[in-house]
Amino acid sequence: MSETTDALVLDLVEWVAREPRHYAEVLEVWRTSCPRLTIWEDAVDRGYVARRPSVEGMRVMVTESGASFLRAHGRLQ
């Protein structure tokens, strides 16, 4: 994976870590049709974020693996 893609996955995980996001919001902001920039899909495939049902509908939250990824890059205490 390229450095650019890795940096964008890190940005996505950090953005979700600030607060659980609505699934629709995440897809609107991060989904792309470019086959070289599969940021949302890469974050899900790596297990850094996951969809979880909530009272307000589907939410995207950072997993423990995602939190470890953020800590390893100095983005989470």
Task: Output phi, psi for 54, to 5 deg.
Answer: -145, 175
Domains for the chain: give ranges and CATH numbers: 3-72 (1.10.10.10)
Axis crossing angle, helix 23-30 with helix 3-18, rounded to the nearest 10: 150
Task: Output phi, psi for 58, to 5 deg.
Answer: -70, 135
DSSP letter for 77, please: -
DSSP letter for 19, please: S
Element of type H or E holding 62: strand 57-62
What tens digit of pLDDT does each residue of 52-62 get?
A: 999 989 999 99
Residues written for the chain: 77
What tens digit of pLDDT does each residue of 1-34 get?
A: 467 678 999 999 999 999 989 999 998 888 777 7
